[in-house]
Chain A
Amino acid sequence: MKFAVQVLEAPYNNQASDTAYHFIKAALDKGHTIVRVFFYHNGVVNANNSAEPPNDDRNIYKRWTELGKEKGIDIVACIAASKRRGIKEGQIVEGTRISGLGQLADMTIEADRLITFG
């Protein structure tokens, strides 16, 4: 089945990014497809590459790189929400990209299931 995932909150501040990651891993393990992950609201902070989380905790940014680069999942931060919060092209987490809200509409239409973590 084709899943689309929306993340609405910033990493670490809320558990949304963690739950989304565990959900995506479990879905991939079961042979499902992730059409796209879309970051909106403060969720765009997930794409901020200048963050340096402490070494004794999980690195949420690296998880997105793992899913985006190694697993080939399309991971998009909303451009309008990113601009508001200082997330810029060229300064984003490897394996993610910045694009418009149309990417959310597209994945909503294409996927069998849209699931939002906020």
Chain B
Amino acid sequence: MLHMVNKSPFSNSALEEAARIASKGSPILLIEDGVYAARAGTSFAPKLADILKDHPVYVLTPDLKARAVDKLVEGVEQVDYSGFVDLVEKDKVHSWV
């Protein structure tokens, strides 16, 4: 199952809850304000590095660009809207709104 998070980890526990509950190996997709979690050099970055040990993490490129998030935690992969659709086609999706 794909776990989708659209909230900033600095103001909302959605990503931490998603990562805690998601089964090992299931992918996490960060969209909208969720992409701030992928920014390198933040206080959350080490936590994302931990999450990456158990889950592939994707970020939505248009949301990164819109927020000037240009330095990513190592291992995070980018997708555009087309790649987003492919992820949802591959797996069922839960949205941690």
Contact = CB atoms under 8 A, between A and B. Distances in A.
A32 B85 contact: yes
A26 B85 CA distance: 7
Interface residues of B, number: 19
A29 B82 contact: yes
Interface of A: 1, 3, 8, 15-16, 19, 22-23, 25-27, 29-30, 32, 113-118
Interface centre among B33, B62, B84, B97 (most CB of A within 10 A): B97
A23 B81 contact: yes
Contact of B32 (A15, A29, A114, A116): A15
Contact of B81 (A3, A25, A117, A118): A25
Contact of A113 (B6, B88, B97): B88
Q: Is the interface of A mostly helix, strand, loop or mixed?
A: mixed
Interface in B26-72: 31-33, 60, 62
A115 B81 CA distance: 14
* Shortest beta-carbon contacts, A-B, top 3: A118-B97, A26-B81, A116-B95
Interface centre among B33, B81, B84, B85 (most CB of A within 10 A): B85
Given A15-B32, A22-B62, A113-B92, A118 B85 contact: no
A8 B6 CA distance: 13
Contacts of A113: 88-89, 92-93
A115 B82 contact: no
